[in-house]
């Protein structure tokens, strides 16, 4: 399976299906996620974040995954999601409205596992817009 198919499979299993068992197989135990000024680490973070998003947006759908660039161990890609905001997420109250958002991700691999990612997401912005 090439890196593009690998990423699509991981996102489908983790976000699309809520299959948390994929974390051990797909992510290094030394995993780091950089989002804005914060750095998160480990499998516990991935599982906790996945549960939060899938609880807040239970009908989450993967709209599109597009590879922007790649090298031997780095993949830069965009993912688009949609769903209905049904529960609070990080202090943003549920709007019960449909939301669509985009994320740019740079994934660094160590062999077949993702060891580090940089993520830029407009999810919080899109959720705030729905509060009007």
Domain tally, the chain? 1
Which residues span the domain enclosing 86? 3-129
What is the full per-residue pLDDT of the chain (132 aa) written as tens digits? 688 899 999 999 999 999 999 999 999 999 999 999 999 999 999 999 999 999 999 999 999 999 999 998 999 999 999 999 999 999 999 999 999 999 999 999 999 999 999 999 999 999 999 987
How, if at all, do strands 38-41 and 27-35 pair?
antiparallel
Among 33, 130, 116, residue whose Cα is nearest residue 75: 116
- Which position has the token pair 């995993």? 31
Q: How many CA atoms lie within 13 A of 49 on its CB side?
A: 12
CATH of the domain at 39: 3.10.450.50
Query: How far is it, in rounded angstroms, from Cα 72 to Cα 57?
Result: 34
The answer to whether residues 81 and 69 touch, using CB atoms and an 8 Å cutoff, is no
Among 56, 54, 64, 62, residue whose Cα is nearest residue 130: 56
Q: pTM of the full predicted structure?
A: 0.93
């Amino acid at each position: 399976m090439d890196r593009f198919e690998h990423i699509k499979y991981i996102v489908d299993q983790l976000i699309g299906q809520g299959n948390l068992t994929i974390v051990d197989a797909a992510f290094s135990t030394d995993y780091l996620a950089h989002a804005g000024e914060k750095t998160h680490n480990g499998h516990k973070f991935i599982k906790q974040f996945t549960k939060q998003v899938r609880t807040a947006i239970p009908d989450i759908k993967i709209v599109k995954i597009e590879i922007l660039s790649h090298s031997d161990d780095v993949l830069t890609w965009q993912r688009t999601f949609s769903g209905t905001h049904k529960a609070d997420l990080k202090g943003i109250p549920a709007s019960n409205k449909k939301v669509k958002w985009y994320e740019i991700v740079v994934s660094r691999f160590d062999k077949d596992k993702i060891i580090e990612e940089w993520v830029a997401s407009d999810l919080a912005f899109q959720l705030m817009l729905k509060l009007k």
